[in-house]
Chains A and B, each alone.
Chain A
Amino acid sequence: KNEVEQSPQNLTAQEGEFITINCSYSVGISALHWLQQHPGGGIVSLFMLSSGKKKHGRLIATINIQEKHSSLHITASHPRDSAVYICAVRFSGGGADGLTFGKGTHLIIQP
């Protein structure tokens, strides 16, 4: 079964801390997405990557294809970063055209 696992499920940290959220998947993928969902809000795509590393502002996403693992890092975290972060993949090899989602990481940054 094609699965996406995220950890941790919940994370509470202090403002300014370096945050890491992990995502692992079971079989080969064509692309991996990191999404952000604020409480009561819509979903925003943060990154889409298939190899290497991408950076946008204080957010960094990395992926290791061999290890089937990706990380999302937030530097100098701020209370406005509080949200649910969701990893999603498109499996290769004839899998569904849509995304398969992890269960999300609920992040709270305290001032």
Chain B
Amino acid sequence: GAGVSQSPSNKVTEKGKDVELRCDPISGHTALYWYRQSLGQGLEFLIYFQGNSAPDKSGLPSDRFSAERTGGSVSTLTIQRTQQEDSAVYLCASSPRDRTDTQYFGPGTRLTVL
């Protein structure tokens, strides 16, 4: 079956612009996670969704970052007024029920802020 998909695969933007990154989890998976992977910081947790609710937003680095999930499926991560330090690969993962399950990762979106 289809895995986790993310779009776009690459995004180049200018400093100060807003960007939206999309994640389509595996069908039926209720838990969804956003992570980012950067050269300096490695992999970092951003936000966790259970259904459409986000019980844990503790990893969002600033109020420029927000995420939503609709219909218990697609999720969008929005970064406003992008900065160069936002350049990273943004990864989405999903799991069947909740945080106790194995996570299935998407291919990521590589974001470059010029």
A: which residues have CB within 8 A of B? 30-31, 33, 35, 42-45, 48, 86, 88, 90, 96-104
Nearest CB of chain B from residue A60's CB, rounded to whole Å: 17
How many contacting A-B pairs (Cβ < 8 A)? 53
CA separation between A30 and B104, bound complex, in Å? 18
Whether A96 lies near B42 (C-beta < 8 A) is: no
Q: Report how many residues on chain B are interfacial, defined by Cβ distance under 8 Å.
A: 25
Q: For residue B105, which residues in chain A have a CB less than 8 angstroms away from its CB?
A: 35, 42-45
- The answer to whether the Cβ of B58 comes within 8 Å of any Cβ in the partner chain is yes
Nearest CB of chain A from residue B52's CB, rounded to whole Å: 15
Whether B99 lies near A97 (C-beta < 8 A) is: yes
Nearest CB of chain A from residue B95's CB, rounded to whole Å: 9
B: which residues have CB within 8 A of A? 33, 35, 42-48, 55-56, 58-59, 91, 93, 99-108
Whether B99 lies near A90 (C-beta < 8 A) is: yes
Residue of A nearest to B34 (CB): A98
Residue of A nearest to B105 (CB): A43
Whether B46 lies near A98 (C-beta < 8 A) is: yes
Q: For residue A102, which residues in chain B have a CB less than 8 angstroms away from its CB?
A: 42
Nearest CB of chain B from residue A106's CB, rounded to whole Å: 12
Of B43, B59, B91, B106, the contact of A96 (CB 8 Å cutoff): B59
Residue of A nearest to B47 (CB): A98
Whether B42 lies near A98 (C-beta < 8 A) is: no
Q: For residue B46, which residues in chain A have a CB less than 8 angstroms away from its CB?
A: 98
Q: For residue A104, which residues in chain B have a CB less than 8 angstroms away from its CB?
A: 42
Whether A103 lies near B35 (C-beta < 8 A) is: no
Of A48, A86, A99, the contact of B45 (CB 8 Å cutoff): A99
